[in-house]
Amino acid sequence: MSTVERLVVIVLFDRVDLLDVTGPPEVFSLLRHEIGDTAAAYRVVLAAETMDPVTTSAGVRILPDTTFHEVSAQCIDTLLVPGAVEADGHGRVRALADPAVVDRVKTLAARTRRITSVCVGAHILAAAGLLDGKRATTHWSTARQLAEDHPEVEVDADPIFIRSGEVWTGAGISACLDLSLALVAEDFGESVALRVARQLVMYVKRPSGQSQFSVPLEPVSMTRRTEDLRHHILRTIGDQLTVADLAAYAHVGERQLTRIFKAELGMTPAAYIESVRVELARNQLESTDATLERIVSTCGFGTTDTLIRAFRRKLDTTPTEYRRRFRAGPG
């Protein structure tokens, strides 16, 4: 284990996402408590264009520790680039990449051992050319934008985080904790990272290959009727729901219901129901000791074979294999 303090520089700019900035330092702060050697831990500094307060997307103002110019003269261990988005008023968001920030990141990256992005910060790395020819992830809501704006980047919207050489990209939003723990594991070992994870009440670090997708995190539907249908599905998921049942509940025909789901959720009602059931089953496999038979019952699969087929179709694995890989425990 190195006894040299590692300089972590977090890039600040107006409208930056607050959790992207504050989440990783919390992980690194707990690391100091675990190893009991502050000289061997991380030294985190917040760098901005000037020393003026930076207003985050949450409206909270943050004071920088240093300027980009000052920190550019130092040897940086880890450069952490958060992100920012703008909304269009219809529930859609677009990642921002200010050219001035992009230029600063490109300059700082040249003096950095390891480069990381949090959430939509990947768009800034891509604009700086730091993801060219690499596989990268970002928040699922802007993954298509990243792929369209930067075809030279292999975008994978599924994983929690991706490492490509010394460039790491993380998904959003709480995935910044998973990424930070992975950095700790690389630098200080798995056992230390697991102790930090316990302090965060994260009993196991989610592997980079675990999907960030979650049915409840899908884009909010455009109509109140569809939102009501989604909540109805969650409330009655243990029942043998059919398209006819949902159509009757919504007071529309089955064909009209299918058109509504495809237009607003991008899938058929049956496919959506299966996605919800798989998501709920995943949560139970990760966090409980429930038997497959119990999960089949509470999630409405009907039979164990139906559960297994759904997992193979959606996740390319079996429920048993999934539990073995992702089961949370005290360690």
Which residues are designated catalytic? Answer: 119
Alpha helices in 88-189 (DSSP H): 99-109, 122-127, 143-149, 175-188
183 close to 116: Cβ distance less than 8 angstroms: yes
Candidates 293, 312, 301; CA nearest to 241 is 301
Cβ atoms within 10 Å of 140's Cβ, excluding its own? 18
Q: How far apart are CA 37 and CA 185, in angstroms?
A: 16
Instruction: Give the closest residue to 81 by CA, choosing from 98, 94, 69.
Output: 98
Crossing angle of helices 304-315/319-326, nearest 10°? 60
What sections of 243-326 are H helices per DSSP? 243-250, 254-265, 269-287, 292-299, 304-315, 319-326
Residue with tokens 């409208």: 15
